[in-house]
Amino acid sequence: MGLPEDLPVVDHHCHLSATGEGVEAVQRFRSAGGTHLFLATQQYGPKTPASIEEYAEQFERTEAIARRAGELGVTVYCVVAPYPIDLVTIAPSVGIAEAVRIQEAALDLAGKWVREQRAVALGEVGRAHFPVPAELREAGEAVFVHALEVARDVGCPAVVHSEDLDAAGFQGLAELAARVGFPVTRLVKHYARHRVAPAERAGVVPSFLASRDVVRESLEDPGPWFWETDFLDDPKRPGAVLDLATVPRRALQVASRGPEALDRLRIPFESSVRAVYGFTPAVRTPGAR
């Protein structure tokens, strides 16, 4: 069984680079049946951005890549923000206070992009996924709070980078969102590598890594949730984290199990996008321009 023409096939989190496969990977995604990508910005050169001008250039490169991918018939939504690890990287050279100022200014810029409809969410925002000194951890937490405040004020989701979370971790994220007044139902935990029961996620939405085991587990979940590859498009690490064609291939495998399984694909590709982002991905009909 194939995929219905009216079903969007959505990779909720990936990266693309002009120095990697770029649009070639997008073509592979489309050929496998993919229709929509959420494209998260990333560092495109060897130097971590250390000014608002450098972040502006980074976001614009992401937008340019999205535009090229769109020319292939794939709908691309940009997700922009300074990467949380950037603060850890630049603080030794510019100082913690200046690093925080730069990160918060870049978050303000990301919010402006959402207001201008150049991006649909702030991401990745959050915390380092490895131990850092207490003063950097506190600074990073202040930046994370600012990210949620910006997302709250512009009315968009926030896509969280952090260590892998158990039930207590999801609860902690939800409590932080509540303190800031950010709606937890628009808080997305990117790169979720195992299923935590919905009752234990405190409203935070997981974006599951589309590995075989996690896909199988996620299909038992009522949602909302997403699938993602976190494709890095790094020439030094081909196919990392998962290849960009993975989500449509998983979707085809699920669809082959029959109508009931096929109906489950509406959760990550339609209803979850609608619940978190406020729109339903539209599928271009064959021959449409």
Supply the pTM of this predicted model.
Answer: 0.95
CB 102, CB 146: distance < 8 Å: no
Phi, psi of 105 (to 5 degrees): -65, -40
Number of independent structural domains in the chain? 1
Residue 74 domain flag: yes
Residue 285 domain flag: no
Distance CA 26, CA 74 (A): 8
Check residue 287 and give its pLDDT: 39
Residue 120 domain flag: yes
Q: What are 195-250's pLDDT values in tens digits?
A: 999 999 999 999 999 999 999 999 999 999 999 999 999 888 877 899 999 999 99
Residue 163 domain flag: yes
Check residue 207 and give its pLDDT: 98
**Structural domain range at position 98:** 10-277
256 pLDDT above the threshold of 70: yes
Residue 31 domain flag: yes
Q: CA nearest 66: which of 33, 43, 36?
A: 36
Residue 91 domain flag: yes
Residue 2 domain flag: no
Distance CA 128, CA 123 (A): 14
CB 160, CB 190: distance < 8 Å: yes
Residue 67 domain flag: yes
42 pLDDT above the threshold of 90: yes
CATH assignment at residue 271: 3.20.20.140
286 pLDDT above the threshold of 60: no
Distance CA 220, CA 116 (A): 37
